[in-house]
Structure 1
């Protein structure tokens, strides 16, 4: 019998496009554009990694069509409970970590309008997204309605931005000059590759919903989603290269805002702000659905308390949704604290932590699938596909090494590097402490019963 919360193929396709396209691209395309000619290489390297992710997850979901948990399930099948937990926890925690970037991004926009009230805008931004997070706990059907309403606003603003960029590109005609060579450090280039993966973030997340989609060939559907997104991004990137960047002259966070200001003045800023809020409203509601599924499987398999995976009267994982929202709100407040302490470039600092977890999850998934193929537990993966996975792993390891350890390329070690690595380790260790504590409680309960 079909679950009443199951999505049709068409609904899932639209849900996935809406979930993936938007904020990640807006927040990171500026780093690609600023690389000029090398931007195309960075764009293609990141897209290659994303393609490998789509290939891997689409293959895995076809092999295990009824499995929930995505990377967690593949890690458990290939490496046992420890590998499974690492994959499952890092897959889950990246969602709440990256949720911190939304209020930080909005506060940057508001501060550029009125820099004299930065504290007020920090508080307003966090307040808005805490409210959005609370609203998304009201249930699956309400979340879907919330997604639809927010998505309409989001796509109207995205379409407006495309029209604005086409207008600027036509007026400026700077396509040839933007392809000129520019001196770029290794850490700047690899940082752009790392950041731009955020534009594709979510491909792995929607794979956790495979058991709730009415489709036989999930691989074909997931690859269709990837190529739709790639085509949209690449087309927009080529159009963007026709814009005279000197007229915008800004960092990646404020790039789209400047486009709206140049083309529409103050009205443009208002429209852009509405777009960012509606975009994150939509993705926040979508994340509530995907992230709650990611933590449910850990509870179902005994890593976390089983009551987390209980369904409510509406046949929804209410407790998991509430728990995910509480964790996200706590991390938003921690992000606010970093901003109030005037930690330099808090947005990119938090963004990179989330993307480190992305890459870790991707590497683990590629290895898991190759191990399962070698053990003949799934259909043999073609050599060409395995080579793609290995190349993607090498690219990601190189990128992570250069970004996380700057002295490798003779760059200074900064305070933000210490914060990033420490935070990354803390997030992972917290997961193991929760698992260890719960296991100890269960063990003690069993010992008491046998006495």
Structure 2
């Protein structure tokens, strides 16, 4: 791929922001307040610290490898072929499910201003159309995806930045007074809130997946991860604080807190603009998913765990077979209508990538491997990251854990089928 078509640091950062910031940021304040009230600010800080710990591990791992795959490559190099495949398979599956959720999420959000989008037929038509348009856009070349991604990312951030900068002048200090006491927030409720809100931070690990399409990945991936996570963390905390300051206890009953808070100080027109921002946000994640999900399949195919034809590239150096395959599977998930439950399970399943990556850092250090970035105080960072992740899983619903492990079982079966086929 020519240098002009590769992603530079700015584009990588915008891709990362797009992969993280989505509908969760617009719904986050209300969801958090329902669980732990004003203490939700503390929950966000907690999650931000955990994500930064995880991001540090991904940053060091990302600086060691240039090849596509991200967590899959890290796990394979550290723990062997089978563990690597399991992580890679889960990564691809999670990205397909998440993309399907966002594709169907667009007409779901659209129905507030276009009631016709509420019907099942129209919802499916809109969702499949989005998938097809993005697939065509990807096949024509990364540069087109990059330009649209950058524009959409900046566009969806405008209403959120506006909400913070203007909303801060309408904060009422009294709204912070009825804060739930520390005694009222148990470890269980705090953990449940942290696990739910953590969903709004997921996606940072996707930055390292398409390394071969990035300019100077050993240097840019670690730097981009740290910049993106730090920026998004501050962003979330500010939005939560402004929403509480404007809506107070009313925040717990709000289904669209950012839009409702905006309407309170600027009226219905401003609320409509924020709703439009929600649609742009969903569209942005669709674009990021359409670029990243096919690259996960390519990484698996490169090592023989998916058919070799999946790696085929066109004249634009785009893995078009993988784009078509991934888009087709995503379309099927959209049509089944079961993606919502699977998307919830993906929150737990993502730790199948996070924990192995953290542990892999210790293996790489023992081997003396050095990249463009090294974690300071590596042992405390890894122990805290893995321990806190395990604690969050402990606070998860048992059904989600079972289905998450079920995904690993499916991956294991697929792995041995492919190995048997190769021997034949």
Q: Please, what TM-score do these two structures have when normalized by structure 1?
A: 0.81
Q: Which has the higher contact order (CA 8 A, sep 6+)?
A: 2
2:6 maps to 1:6? yes
SS at match of 1:224: helix
Structure 1 SS opposite 2:246: coil
> Which structure 2 residues correspond to residues 136-285 of structure 1 after superposition, within 5 A?
136-138=134-136, 139=138, 140-163=142-165, 165-166=167-168, 168-169=170-171, 172-181=172-181, 183-215=184-216, 217-218=219-220, 219-250=222-253, 253-263=255-265, 266-268=268-270, 270-285=272-287
Superposed displacement of residue 75, structure 1: 0.7
Check the 8 A contact 2:6/2:215 in 1, yes or no: yes
Deviations 1:371-410 (A, max 9, x none): 22234345796672221221121121121122123xxxxx
Match of 1:433 among 400, 406, 413: 413
Q: How many residues align?
A: 415
SS in 2 for 1:86: helix
Distance apart, 1:181 and its partner CA: 1.9
SS state of the match for residue 376, structure 1? coil
Q: SS of the counterpart of 1:174?
A: helix
Tell me which residue corresponds to 1:99: 99
1:235-272 superposed Cα distances (whole Å, 9 cap, x missing partner): 33333332233334425x53234334444555455433
Is 1:402 the counterpart of 2:403? The answer is: no
Distance 2:113 2:411 in 1: 40
Q: Secondary structure at the match of 1:314?
A: coil
CA offsets per residue over residues 48-74 of structure 1, 9 Å max, x none? 22111221111112222x222111111
Q: Could you say what secondary structure the match of 1:243 adopts?
A: helix
CA contact (8 A) 1:70 1:208 kept: yes
Distance 1:155 1:400, change over 3 A: same
Q: Distance in 2 between matches of 1:11 and 1:222?
A: 12
* Structure 1 residue aligned with 2:364: 372
**CA offset digits 1:156-203 (Å, max 9, x no partner):** 33334335643542xx33353154427345443222211222222221
Question: Relative to structure 1, is the Cα distance of residues 382 and 145 closer, same or farther in structure 2, using a 3 angstrom cutoff?
Answer: closer
Q: Deviations over 1:354-387 (max 9, x none)?
A: 1112222111111111122234345796672221
Pick from 315, 331, 334 the counterpart of residue 332 of structure 1.
Answer: 334
SS at match of 2:73: helix
8 A Cα contact 2:312 2:321, kept in partner? yes
Deviation at 1:145, TM superposition (A): 3.8
RMSD value over aligned CA atoms? Answer: 3.1
> What does 1:337-416 correspond to in 2, within 5 Å?
337=338, 346=340, 349-378=341-370, 384-405=377-398
| 8 Å Cα contact 1:85-1:303 kept in structure 2 | yes
Alpha-carbon distance in 1 for matches of 2:116, 2:107: 8
> 1:224/1:313 Cα in 2 relative to 1: closer, same or farther (>3 Å)?
same
Which moved further from structure 2: 268-277 or 358-367? 268-277
Deviation for aligned residue 1:43: 1.5
Aligned counterparts of 1:281 and 1:374: Cα–Cα separation in 2: 43
Does the Cα contact within 8 Å between 2:26 and 2:278 map onto a contact in 1? Answer: no
How far apart, in 2, do the equivalents of 1:298 and 1:164 lie?
47
Gaps of 5+ in 2: none
User: Is the 1:94–1:354 Cα contact (8 Å) retained in structure 2?
Assistant: yes
Cα displacement string for residues 102-148 of structure 1 (whole angstroms, at most 9, x for unaligned residues): 3665576567789xx79935554444333222111112333234324
Q: How far is 1:299 from its partner?
A: 0.2
What SS does the corresponding residue of 2:174 show, helix, strand or coil?
Answer: coil
For the residue of structure 2 that corresponds to 1:63, the secondary structure is coil
For 2:37 and 2:16, locate their aligned partners in 1 and report how far apart those are by CA, in whole Å. Answer: 30
**Whole-Å Cα distance in 2 between the matches of residues 113 and 186 of structure 1?**
40
Q: Find the aligned partners of 2:189 and 2:116 in 1 and give their Cα distance.
A: 28
Aligned 8 A contact 1:6 1:212 in 2: yes
| Superimposed CA distance per residue, residues 394-449 of structure 1 (whole angstroms, 9 cap, x where no aligned partner) | 121121122123xxxxxxxxxxx3xx3454344333333333333333322xxxxx
How far the C-alpha of 1:99 sits from its partner, in A, is 2.7
